[in-house]
Amino acid sequence: MKNSAQEKFVYNAWYIAAWPSELEDQPLARTILDEKIVLFRDKSGKVAALEDRCCHRAAPLSFGKVMTTGIQCGYHGMVFDSAGICIDNPGAGTDSKQYTVRSFPIVEQQNFIWIWMGDNSKADENKIIEYPHHEMSDDWSFEFSHYHIAANYIFMMDNLMDLTHLAYVHTSTIGGNPEDHAAASMEVTTTETGVKYMRWMLNSQPPPTFVAAAGFKGKVDRWSNFEYVAPSSVLQRNGALDVGKGAVDNQEQEGGISIRLFHHVTPETATSCHYFWSSAARGVVRDSNAGKKFQDDIAAAFLEDKAMVEAQQSIVSAQPHRELLSRTHDKAVALERKALHKMLACE
Amino acid sequence: MKNSAQEKFVYNAWYIAAWPSELEDQPLARTILDEKIVLFRDKSGKVAALEDRCCHRAAPLSFGKVMTTGIQCGYHGMVFDSAGICIDNPGAGTDSKQYTVRSFPIVEQQNFIWIWMGDNSKADENKIIEYPHHEMSDDWSFEFSHYHIAANYIFMMDNLMDLTHLAYVHTSTIGGNPEDHAAASMEVTTTETGVKYMRWMLNSQPPPTFVAAAGFKGKVDRWSNFEYVAPSSVLQRNGALDVGKGAVDNQEQEGGISIRLFHHVTPETATSCHYFWSSAARGVVRDSNAGKKFQDDIAAAFLEDKAMVEAQQSIVSAQPHRELLSRTHDKAVALERKALHKMLACE
Amino acid sequence: MKNSAQEKFVYNAWYIAAWPSELEDQPLARTILDEKIVLFRDKSGKVAALEDRCCHRAAPLSFGKVMTTGIQCGYHGMVFDSAGICIDNPGAGTDSKQYTVRSFPIVEQQNFIWIWMGDNSKADENKIIEYPHHEMSDDWSFEFSHYHIAANYIFMMDNLMDLTHLAYVHTSTIGGNPEDHAAASMEVTTTETGVKYMRWMLNSQPPPTFVAAAGFKGKVDRWSNFEYVAPSSVLQRNGALDVGKGAVDNQEQEGGISIRLFHHVTPETATSCHYFWSSAARGVVRDSNAGKKFQDDIAAAFLEDKAMVEAQQSIVSAQPHRELLSRTHDKAVALERKALHKMLACE
């Protein structure tokens, strides 16, 4: 199997560019797929993404000022609108519209800001993944965040598609007993856009985070339903119920814990990425200590992943030509890579 | 227009190497035009510049000790004089003079230390620019400094040759009203060694720094007389008088404010430089609060330029092959680049 | 003479990998000859060295856990023994032994941990240098340490083979009078494995460190007996006795000071190394203030060497194609390089 440093970027895809809360009064500079981008919400409320380089003297527009419509370069005052067209060129008359900077399609939806880095004519908003939990009632407590990760984004996808790492990387949080993990049943299915799996750890020891959040007294039936959508999203539905409650037939019943996670990783460079995650849980009270601890544990567990994939990247970067091996448990990882390669082949 | 990263160095030119106050007891290591140099004032008072590399084992001479005549290597004690000749080779007899390090012509004059990095036979001291303000009476208050700037030196020259940036970069200091700047009259003239311009902002709002220093109550006639001398000096004469005082015919009358600035930028590497500036002002009392605030504002304004050109450099470095565009206001910038290219063509 | 950046590594040689005290409960990540290595002592007490890269997903094994036998990868739990063979592949059945990582021969002896980076079949333990002082009675006080040095390891060897640097680099510690150093007699002899010299400074001023440790009142006869063993060890025997005690005929008599030092430098990269030094002294009381000061001075003096060779490296790195010159005093340095080249020619 190729190491991630050997993979290319998929350009014709929607990526999360930012959380809406990151775009208030100030422009935000962010590198995405090796392009320096400025993101901003102008005073009319519209979010835009331009290349972060004024066409005049290459000053970064992110050093500038958000205007009613567009952004003003902080060096000589040229203003560019959300399409990248110069709409004010102070003192320089009528020829302003020849000055343009590249703009990128942006969609703001369900509290995500999505960007399209490829061919504009292929940017189909209907392909954006649905994740309604930011807009749902407070049955579901949720938390979201952005982690900068010094590793290729594919290492994050691989990480999510082989859960046997939980027993070693997340011992003190969302892990659980290594033997239970190794023995988990795993049903892997190819989808049109990637791969999904259903994984059961029946009659297993709940991990510390689950016990603290939902008060389990004994063993549980624990499930993990993961779907990878190429190139860089993972939708996770998992949870646990006391043994005997019939979890296999009905996971969405009262009691126990039910979790929805949206993982999305936007490549920054070949060796770094932006990890956007959103975690919703039912079965823990939103403003309770247990609910807070649950979300804190999730945040902490993802920092454990960050540390591991960054370490992995440092080893791969030192010897970029060596390939990786697969184990029995890497079946879903292999299908994830296959779906990614199919997408790359279309470019 | 080429971006600065695409330009080469001019070697046959005088550059400022240091302020005299930087050379007291200790040697000073400084990189100039990509050469590591050691500057020192020996105990006889003579300033010298040698390559910062002992010919024996490549130890930096800047780790050594200033002697009566020359500098002693801190590793094995060899002493080199200002011509780079080994005048003491401890315990190694008479063959010392075969050991030499490269030396660079140095001229100390008017409180500047100038260095010549090119062909020694072309080093003509008469070509050194005059700037007498460090030696004048205290009608003129002055301040000087050295800023290290992580950008190609030409970005600093470009910055000085298009003052429309004042309204955006220096809003709170030496800026002024954007419309006044855009509407300024500008007379650009080619000179033998570069380009100069006279720029008038008649009946304009004085910037905060001018008001604080000279107590203007209303609008002023403001002038900026700039001369670029290739490759990297800018002489600035500017000031302001109350409207109605006849500034256009006589700028050097009592009242108002009159400023002389010497800007000099010595390339360090292709993406960094040493900015030496000296600022003299008449019309603000030297040891007054207003005088101090005036010089502090100048120092602060140049840090604003530093931040902007460094940001510009980071964008250019990411995409070194992209060129820059010109606006109507870049006429003097274009002539500055032309003078620089003429000098480069002579090398 | 080549600068050190132009030299290659010798692979077929024993290098010190670590001090035993560095290997307790936790694995140690260390780069040696450009290879990332994990060193660990498993719970059975055996020290092992493996490449710091799990063969599965390239996670660094140094992020893992020391086991009874071997080390467990912290990502998915594979366990590798000291030979680099996978002895546990959780939940993945019987095919584990196809998974291997490279292992390196290790010898633990006389309180050193030695590693062999070359062809395993050539790893002859009898070639490991003897240095018994860590196991001797407390007639000899000793101290040892590990310094990371940002310079090619050969600069450290060169440094030890030309002691004229003592008068300049170590003025306040182990230096001494420059003229005494320049005038020292020096008898250089080629050996089978390198070069050695005997150097006498008869009737010379003892350096500050010697005076403080041994209480010399007047001049001394001071000797330095150094042996370079290619590629990167230096055995040092030196000391001083009051003038008139007959040091030339018998250095090991009572009174004065007698020192044994073992210097070993393990290349990390082409521009950095691990300096392991051990210093034993007789003639200073082990737990006395003088004894402590003596060892502190030695440690401080070696930091002076570190600063100098790092400065030297920075100059060489800036101009890697320039060669170095030799002086009269570099005879032993030249023979050291010759021995090193002989070893390289065998590879």
Q: What is the CATH number of the domain that holds C218?
A: 3.90.380.10
Domain of B84, CATH number, reads: 2.102.10.10
Weakest-pLDDT range from A106-110, B142-146, B262-266: B142-146
ipTM > 0.85 for the complex: yes
Phi, psi of C153 (to 5 degrees): -65, -25
Residues C105 and C136 in one domain: no
Phi, psi of A221 (to 5 degrees): -95, 120
Compute the distance between CA of residue A16 and CA of residue A126 in angstroms, rounded to an integer: 15
Contacts of A211 (CB under 8 A, 6+ apart): none
**pLDDT of amino acid B240:** 94
Chain B CA closest to residue A76 = B165
CA distances from A231 to A16, A105, A234, C157 (A): 12, 18, 9, 53
Q: Do B164 and A77 touch (CB under 8 A)?
A: yes
Q: Which residues of chain A have pLDDT under 70?
A: 3-6, 93-96, 136-138, 285-287
Compute the distance between CA of residue B309 and CA of residue B330 in angstroms, rounded to an integer: 16
Phi, psi of A243 (to 5 degrees): -55, 135
Closest partner CB to B59 (pick from C308, C326, C328): C308
Query: In terms of residue numbers, what domain contains A47?
Result: 20-110
What tens digit of pLDDT does each residue of B97-118 get? 789 999 999 999 999 999 999 9
Residues B266 and B213 in one domain: yes
Compute the distance between CA of residue B164 and CA of residue B201 in angstroms, rounded to an integer: 11
Q: Do C59 and A312 touch (CB under 8 A)?
A: yes
**pLDDT of amino acid B134:** 79
What tens digit of pLDDT does each residue of B290-343 get? 778 888 989 999 999 999 999 999 999 999 899 999 888 899 999 999 999 999
In percent, how much of chain A has pLDDT > 90?
74
Compute the distance between CA of residue C267 and CA of residue C272 in angstroms, rounded to an integer: 6
CA distances from C96 to A129, A207, C70, C88 (A): 39, 28, 14, 7
Residues A40 and A184 in one domain: no
Residue B285: pLDDT band with limits 50, 70, 90: low
For residue A282, how many C-alpha atoms fall within 13 Å in the half-sphere facing its CB?
Answer: 16
Alpha-carbon Rg of chain B, whole angstroms?
22
**pLDDT of amino acid C176:** 73
CB atoms within 10 A of CB B192: 7
Strand partners, C261: C236, C279
- Nearest-CA distance from A321 to chain C in Å? 12
**pLDDT of amino acid C92:** 75
CB atoms within 10 A of CB C340: 20
Phi, psi of B138 (to 5 degrees): -85, 20
- Cβ–Cβ < 8 Å for A154, A340: yes
Contacts of A222 (CB under 8 A, 6+ apart): A176, A200, A201, A202, A204, A206, A210, A238, A239, A240
In-domain check, residue C194: yes
State the DSSP code for A150.
S
In-domain check, residue B151: yes
Quick one: average pLDDT of B37-50? 96
Compute the distance between CA of residue C238 and CA of residue C63 in angstroms, rounded to an integer: 43
Compute the distance between CA of residue A123 and CA of residue C61 in angstroms, rounded to an integer: 43
CB atoms within 10 A of CB B61: 30
CB atoms within 10 A of CB C126: 4
Interface list for chain A against chain B, based on CB atoms closer than 8 Å: 36, 52-53, 55-60, 63, 72-77, 89-93, 99
In-domain check, residue B211: yes
Quick one: average pLDDT of B177-194? 89
In-domain check, residue C101: yes
Compute the distance between CA of residue A170 and CA of residue A159 in angstroms, rounded to an integer: 12
- Nearest-CA distance from C249 to chain B in Å? 26
Compute the distance between CA of residue C93 and CA of residue B74 in angstroms, rounded to an integer: 64
Q: Is pLDDT at B95 greater than 80 in this prediction?
A: no
Q: Do C182 and B92 touch (CB under 8 A)?
A: yes
DSSP-assigned states of every residue in B129-180: PP-GGGGS-TTSEEEEEEEEESS-HHHHHHHHH-GGGHHHHSTTTT---HHH
- Cβ–Cβ < 8 Å for B16, B276: yes
Cis peptide upstream of residue A231 (ω within 30 degrees of 0): yes
pTM, rounded to two decimals: 0.92
Interface list for chain C against chain A, based on CB atoms closer than 8 Å: 36, 52-53, 55-60, 63, 72-77, 89-93, 99
Compute the distance between CA of residue C204 and CA of residue C179 in angstroms, rounded to an integer: 9
Compute the distance between CA of residue B281 and CA of residue A47 in angstroms, rounded to an integer: 46
State the DSSP code for A328.
G
CA distances from C19 to A264, B343, C71 (A): 45, 60, 19
Residues B114 and B151 in one domain: no
What tens digit of pLDDT does each residue of A42-94 get? 999 999 999 999 999 999 999 999 999 999 999 999 999 999 999 999 877 66
Contacts of A321 (CB under 8 A, 6+ apart): none
Compute the distance between CA of residue C282 and CA of residue C290 in angstroms, rounded to an integer: 12
The amino acid present at B283, given as its one-letter code, is: G
The amino acid present at A323, given as its one-letter code, is: E
- Nearest-CA distance from C233 to chain A in Å? 28
Q: How many CB pairs under 8 A join B and C?
A: 72
- Cβ–Cβ < 8 Å for A16, A110: no
Residues A290 and A330 in one domain: yes
Give the sheet arrangement for strand C71-72, strand by strand.
C65-66, C71-72, C79-80, C86-88
In-domain check, residue A7: no
- Cβ–Cβ < 8 Å for B157, B264: no
Compute the distance between CA of residue A22 and CA of residue A133 in angstroms, rounded to an integer: 19
Q: Do C74 and A324 touch (CB under 8 A)?
A: no
In-domain check, residue A125: no
Residue C83 token pair? 């030979």
C282-285 — which CB contacts under 8 Å span 24+ positions?
C282/C139, C282/C140, C282/C141, C282/C257, C282/C258, C283/C213, C283/C214, C283/C239, C283/C255, C283/C256, C283/C257, C283/C258, C284/C141, C284/C213, C284/C214, C284/C257, C285/C141
Q: Do B72 and C162 touch (CB under 8 A)?
A: no
- Cβ–Cβ < 8 Å for B315, A59: yes
- Cβ–Cβ < 8 Å for C13, C231: yes
Residues B100 and B139 in one domain: no
For residue C254, how many C-alpha atoms fall within 13 Å in the half-sphere facing its CB?
Answer: 0
**pLDDT of amino acid B259:** 92
In-domain check, residue C301: yes
Q: Which residues of chain C have pLDDT under 50?
A: none
Compute the distance between CA of residue B101 and CA of residue B70 in angstroms, rounded to an integer: 12
Total tally of structural domains belonging to chain B: 2
Residue A338 token pair? 């296959």
In-domain check, residue A56: yes
Residue A212 token pair? 């603290």
How far is CA A262 from its chain centroid? 7
Residue whose C-alpha is closest to residue A343's, from A156, A127, A120: A127
Residues C189 and C282 in one domain: yes
Q: What's the mean pLDDT when you consider all of chain A?
A: 91
Residues A67 and A31 in one domain: yes
Cis peptide upstream of residue B231 (ω within 30 degrees of 0): yes
Residues B108 and B197 in one domain: no
Residues C190 and C287 in one domain: yes
State the DSSP code for C122.
G
Q: What's the mean pLDDT when you consider all of chain B?
A: 91
- Kindly provide the b/e burial profile for residues B2-35, where b requires at least 16 CB atoms within 10 angstroms of the residue's own CB: ebbbbbebbbbbbbbbbbeeebeeebbbbbbbeb
Residue B45 token pair? 């008072």
Contacts of C289 (CB under 8 A, 6+ apart): none
CB atoms within 10 A of CB B136: 12
Residues C102 and C137 in one domain: no
Compute the distance between CA of residue B343 and CA of residue B10 in angstroms, rounded to an integer: 7
Residues B264 and B319 in one domain: yes
Give the sheet arrangement for strand C14-18, strand by strand.
C14-18, C112-116, C106-109
B308 neighbourhood in chain A, CB within 8 Å: 59, 63, 74-75
Interface test with B, best of A76, A80, A89 (most B CBs within 10 A): A76
Name the neighbours of C, counting chains with at least 3 Cβ pairs within 8 A: A, B
Cis peptide upstream of residue A206 (ω within 30 degrees of 0): no
- Nearest-CA distance from A44 to chain C in Å? 48
B179 neighbourhood in chain A, CB within 8 Å: 90-91
Both ends of chain A: CA-CA distance in Å? 21
Contacts of C247 (CB under 8 A, 6+ apart): C220, C221, C223, C239, C240, C241, C256
